[in-house]
């Protein structure tokens, strides 16, 4: 089971409006998944602008499966003004299980990451660039696995104790006045150090020094509340 298979299955389960087939498919090896399945011609799915041939499982094949076509072109329509509607698999963050395909914003990703019990089979993708096919690199999770794809990095969230511990430290630092960009680079301007206090900054820097270049750290920084969310928190007190 690949992410494309899972997305296609979820769309069918929910009776989503699938893209219309341009012609009858044929049985062939899918260039994307490497599996024999009903396929369309590769040139009609990947197109000339496709630049991730290195990620294909069967790059020699001239065909692409219907599951890939459905998952990649779901949501694609041409308006009267010739403007394309966005396709969520490539142009949003998302979560997919065997019976659900859901577009997510940052808050939605955060909520999914911290759900206590996950489905038997699922995959998730978080992006800020909205340019890549997340299904090419996302990992289908089973059992106790919790891997998310963040941009092009695999993030192992299987140890939820560690995830919650790191997230708590980052949230405390954020509310102390250490911003997201400072956390990501560990380069702190003097005026911020003055505002948060040298002791607070030094303790955070010491904790983050062997973590800030990891995929998990970067992902948890992305999940931190926005400035608007922080202001809304204050407004409720």
Whether 209 is covered by a domain: the verdict is yes
Mean of the pLDDT values across residues 214-236? 88
Whether 2 is covered by a domain: the verdict is no
- Which pLDDT does position 236 carry in this prediction? 53
Q: What percentage of the chain reaches a pLDDT higher than 90?
A: 83
Q: Which residue has the tokens 């919650």?
A: 164
pLDDT reading at 105 higher than 80:
yes
Domain endpoint, select from 68, 102, 130:
68
Domain count, the chain: 2
Mean of the pLDDT values across residues 163-171? 98
For helices 198-208 and 160-176, give the axis angle rounded to 10 degrees: 150
Pair type for strands 63-65 and 93-97: unpaired
Whether 120 is covered by a domain: the verdict is no
Q: Could you list the residue range(s) of the whole structural domain that residue 59 is in? A: 16-68
Q: Which residue has the tokens 């800030």?
A: 212
- Band (pLDDT 50/70/90 cuts) for residue 237 is very low
Whether 23 is covered by a domain: the verdict is yes
Mean of the pLDDT values across residues 144-167? 97
Mean of the pLDDT values across residues 187-205? 97
Whether 20 is covered by a domain: the verdict is yes
pLDDT reading at 191 higher than 50:
yes
């Amino acid at each position: 089971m690949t992410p494309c298979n899972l997305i296609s299955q979820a769309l069918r389960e929910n009776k989503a409006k699938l893209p219309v087939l341009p012609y009858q498919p044929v049985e062939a090896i899918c260039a994307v998944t490497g599996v024999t399945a009903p396929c369309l011609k590769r040139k009609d799915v990947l197109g000339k602008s496709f630049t991730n041939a290195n990620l294909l499982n069967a790059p020699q094949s001239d065909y692409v499966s219907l599951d890939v076509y459905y998952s990649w072109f779901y949501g694609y329509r041409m308006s009267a003004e010739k403007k394309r509607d966005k396709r969520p698999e490539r142009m949003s963050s998302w979560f997919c299980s065997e019976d659900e395909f859901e577009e997510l914003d940052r808050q939605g990703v955060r909520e999914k990451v911290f759900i206590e019990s996950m489905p038997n089979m699922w995959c998730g993708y978080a992006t800020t660039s909205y340019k890549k096919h997340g299904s090419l690199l996302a990992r289908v999770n089973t059992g106790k696995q919790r891997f998310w794809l963040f941009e092009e990095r695999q993030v192992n969230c299987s140890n939820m104790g560690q995830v919650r511990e790191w997230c708590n430290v980052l949230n405390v630092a954020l509310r102390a006045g250490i911003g997201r960009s400072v956390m990501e680079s560990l380069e702190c301007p003097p005026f911020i150090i003055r505002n948060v206090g040298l002791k607070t900054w030094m303790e955070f820097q010491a904790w983050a020094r062997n973590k800030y270049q990891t995929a998990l750290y970067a992902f948890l920084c992305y999940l931190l509340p926005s400035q608007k969310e922080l202001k809304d928190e204050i407004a409720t007190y």
